[in-house]
Amino acid sequence: MENVTFWFDASCPFCWQTSRWIKEVEKVRDIEIDWIPMSLSVLNDGRDLPEDYMAMMEANWGPARVFAKVKQERPELIDDLYTAMGTLIHPGGQGGQKGYGAYDDVIKKALEEVGLDESFASVANEASYDDVLRSYHQGAMDAVGDEVGTPVIQLGETAFFGPVITRVPTGEEAGALFDHALGLAEYPYFFELKRSRTEAPQV
């Protein structure tokens, strides 16, 4: 069995695509996934960024805080909650929200869908779980470095930002992509492959 650690921000469409790929891999390879929240809001906290982008970062605090609480108190449901909330945000067309509290309705619907008490939503708009969230986020940065966003995945002892994909492979194609990523992770001197993106995530 291969252990995979997957740090995610539910608001990120690229992270969503990668997460749906690893769920496909789960069907065709013997893997165990540890889902851990990270946050683009934490990553960009204190940075001088365009106003519209900062408004999205304000909105993104809500889901990330909820996931931090769920990870601590009901970790067995974090996978299901990410699927539920991510489906509402991305295929459901609810992404790109702006301003604090913008994801409140999405959070409540997702919690209800997976059978989690609505009290988990109470942390979305206050800072009581920020230290926990920052600790989870720092785990990703410690694993891969601080010049990356989300997703971060760790395969064995090696962590990468990505893979950044715009479409979700299924079946053996998903497994083959995982095999190649696992192969690259075996080389401690391998760090990066990159090319310019020519399409947006096909959610």
Span 73-87, pLDDT tens digits: 999 999 999 999 999
Give the pLDDT band of residue 26 (cuts 50, 70, 90): very high
What's the fold here for domain 2-185? Glutaredoxin (3.40.30)
Q: Which of 107, 76, 99 is nearest to 10 (CA)?
A: 107
Give the pLDDT band of residue 198 (cuts 50, 70, 90): confident
pLDDT in tens, 121-156: 999 999 999 999 999 999 999 999 887 889 999 998
| 3-state SS, residue 90 | coil
> What is the average pLDDT score of the chain?
96
At residue 146, the pLDDT reads 80
At residue 122, the pLDDT reads 97
- Residue 177 makes CB contacts below 8 A (sequence gap 6+) with 21, 25, 163, 165, 169
